[in-house]
Chain A
């Protein structure tokens, strides 16, 4: 596998629903990842994405895609109901029978969303854990045990001389970028890597996916615990027909992940164009 240059940096916080669109993009990128590419930079050849890892990622992609599809429909309905609730000026008019009906419908759709998540999450958990475990094994073996810190940095530097550096990656935690957009970047990276034109590092991609899977795995477990409680709360709310702030918050969170926000992506300044002249190379340079 070609290990050479940069990629997006790590996001520090992932919301519960962040795992949803991950699989769809992963599945797309997988079609272009070829197993065990050799390192064009001349460094040691590392195998971070053998067939077994690719199969695990592929499976995770399918499962996540199914979950995303199921939720998109429910969320679209919730959006319409919520809009109707607002247009009908139901805020503060809880006693109105019409508003009560809309609130109950909204609550029922919310319960449906929780059910979809509850049904899909065990499959998702299994797939994510399998991918995480296989990537973990590769990272430990290829980067942890076969490399020193020096060879690791040589691999990361790979074939990007300073003057030809591609635009700097964004720190994921600071960019506010959706996960799906991030995986679109993976897609572009892998696509150009397949054509032999990439100077991006597979070590960075593998690390990023692995850490995401790690977080996703923890979040799935926590979400599963929460679903039971949230379902009970909403069933109780159904009796009174109210829209709770918690409910609105969960829906907003899921929506922002699925449909994204309109915020323009944050751009980190890229390096200036390199000098035309061949850079000086000192005999002391290592």
Chain B
């Protein structure tokens, strides 16, 4: 009985060791860390290399760091660089095409992904109007980062800001009308 229990524990420890070995160098502490880089192109190359080398789980962190690097040298061309990077990530299967689109549009487009919906406003948007507007506000902060700080495109950011205000007004009226049926 005692022997059986010891054997079971031994096998358990062995299997844990095996799993950690299989995970390989990618999960070694520091292996997925992105080197500090000021050049955006080099940072993209590094990020792609890490992602291709088993560090897919760090995608969000890389994306955030890349935005930080880009903010150090803001220019309109950065939009395309991020688009290419997200397109590559989708091609490599790191993100779905839909996720790539959502991320790109959240940061670099005037339109709000928070307003993505398939059903009519009375039925879908109005019951969760506050949540939608809160999500839009959060998205607007990301748009400020993507459009102003990274892409130097304040005009698009101002348009997004205005769209947010207009949506707030129109939803207030529309949802009042829907409720007064």
The interface size bin for chain A is: 35 or more
State which of A9, A135, A285 has its C-beta within 8 Å of the C-beta of B105: A285
Contact call A144/B177, Cβ cutoff below 8 A:
yes
Q: Are A210 and B173 touching (Cβ within 8 A)? A: yes
CA distance A143 to B156 in the complex (A): 25
Is the CB–CB distance between A149 and B115 below 8 Å? yes
Binds B, one of A62-70, A74-82, A181-189, A273-281: A273-281
Q: In the complex the two chains form, is B166's CB within 8 Å of A204's CB? A: yes
**Of the 9-residue stretches B14-22, B24-32, B66-74, B79-87, which lies at the interface with chain A?**
B79-87
Say yes or no for A206: interface residue by CB 8 A criterion.
yes
Chain A CB within 8 A of B64 CB: no
Bound-state Cα–Cα, A165 to B162, Å:
10
Bin the interface of chain B by size.
35 or more
Given A6-B166, A165-B162, A210-B173: A274 in contact with B83 (beta carbons within 8 A) = no
Q: Which of A229-286 contact B (CB under 8 A)?
A: 270-275, 277, 279-280, 282-286
Task: Give the docked Cα–Cα distance between A220 and B113 (Å).
Answer: 40
For the complex, give the distance between the alpha carbons of A206 and B174 in Å: 10
Docked Cα-Cα span, A148 to B119, in Å, equals: 5
Chain B residues 127 to 178 lying within 8 A of chain A, measured CB to CB, are: 132, 153-156, 158-159, 161-163, 165-170, 172-178
Contact A171 B86 (CB under 8 A): no
Task: Return chain A residues, CB-CB under 8 Å to B49.
Answer: none
How far does the alpha carbon of A6 sit from the alpha carbon of B83 in the complex, in Å? 29
Contact A211 B154 (CB under 8 A): no
- Does B62 interact with chain A (Cβ within 8 Å)? no
Name the A residues within 8 Å of B153 (CB-CB): 162, 279
Q: How far is the CB of B151 from chain A (nearest CB, A)?
A: 9
Neighbouring B residues of A163 by C-beta, 8 Å:
155-156
Contact present for B120 and A145 (CB under 8 Å): yes
Docked complex Cα distance between A162 and B110 (Å): 8
Whether, in the assembled complex, A37 has its beta carbon less than 8 Å from a beta carbon of chain B, the answer is no
Residues in A143-167 with C-beta less than 8 Å from chain B:
143-150, 152-154, 156-157, 160, 162-163, 165
Q: Which of B132, B159, B167, B168 has its CB near the most chain A CB atoms (within 10 A)?
A: B159
B118 to chain A, nearest CB (A): 6
Contact of A15 with B by CB under 8 A: no
Can you list 22 A-B contacts (CB < 8 A)?
A9-B166, A9-B168, A10-B172, A136-B177, A136-B180, A143-B170, A143-B173, A144-B120, A145-B120, A145-B178, A150-B115, A150-B117, A156-B166, A165-B158, A169-B165, A171-B165, A204-B166, A207-B174, A273-B155, A274-B155, A279-B76, A286-B101
Q: Which 9 A-B pairs give the minimum distances between C-beta atoms? A: A207-B173, A282-B83, A271-B158, A162-B156, A144-B122, A284-B104, A139-B177, A140-B177, A149-B115
Interface residues of A (CB under 8 A from B): 5-7, 9-10, 135-137, 139-140, 143-150, 152-154, 156-157, 160, 162-163, 165, 168-169, 171, 201, 203-204, 206-208, 210-211, 214, 270-275, 277, 279-280, 282-286
Chain B contact residues, CB within 8 Å of chain A: 76-77, 79-80, 83, 86-87, 100-101, 104-105, 108-113, 115-122, 124-126, 132, 153-156, 158-159, 161-163, 165-170, 172-178, 180-181
